[in-house]
Amino acid sequence: MVEPPLERLNRQEEVRVVARLEPPGFDVGRLRAAEPIRELPSLADAECHERSGELGPLLGRPIVPGLSRRARDSLGSREDRALLRDALLQMVPGHIQVLAERIGDLSTKPLGDGAAGSGRNSRSPQ
């Protein structure tokens, strides 16, 4: 059902997901989700719906590969789970971006005590 445009201004929906990934395989060690729903006339007073209980099937498994598929399988296509499902689907791309940044940081740092190394970005003394 499509809401009239101004009806959407009467309500604010969001979901907050907090995850802890455990090395070395980046298994999902902890996963919490809460969904504050704000409605007029009191948008400031959000009733927070705890959604962590629905996330059990995602725990203890690696984020890559398979978190996106497991999230879709676990939460299905129900509209009342769409915000939570969509937030979980963003975890894998976010994780990959963080890993890429961390790898970039590591590849530009000098090896050992700062002497010239053999890494990609190392330079020979001139």
pLDDT tens, 52-69? 998 999 999 999 888 999
Q: Which residues partner with 83 through β-bridges?
A: none
Q: Which of 69, 72, 63, 58 is nearest to 92 (CA)?
A: 63
Report if residue 23 sits inside a domain.
Answer: yes
* Per-residue pLDDT tens over the stretch 6-31: 776 777 788 999 999 998 889 999 99
Q: Is the pLDDT of residue 117 over 60?
A: no
Whether the Cβ atoms of residue 33 and residue 17 lie closer than 8 Å to each other: yes
Q: Judge whether 91 lies within some domain.
A: yes
Break the chain down into helix, strand, coil percent, rounded to 5.
40, 20, 35
The partner residues of 37 in beta bridges, in order of sequence, read: 13, 47
Tell me, yes or no, whether 118 lies in a domain. no
Residue 1, domain member (yes or no)? no
Are β-strands 16-22 and 47-50 bridged in parallel, bridged antiparallel, or unpaired?
A: unpaired
User: Where in the sequence is the domain holding 62, given as residue range(s)?
Assistant: 7-108
Task: Say if 120 falls within a structural domain.
Answer: no
Average pLDDT over residues 44-49: 77
State if pTM tops 0.85. Answer: no
Q: How far apart are CA 17 and CA 36, in angstroms?
A: 11
Residue 116 lies in a domain: no
CA angle 12, 89, 100 (to 5 degrees): 115
- C-alpha 105/C-alpha 47 separation (Å) is 41
Q: How many domains does the chain have?
A: 1
The reported pLDDT for the residue numbered 112 is 59
Q: How far apart are the first and last CA of the chain?
A: 69
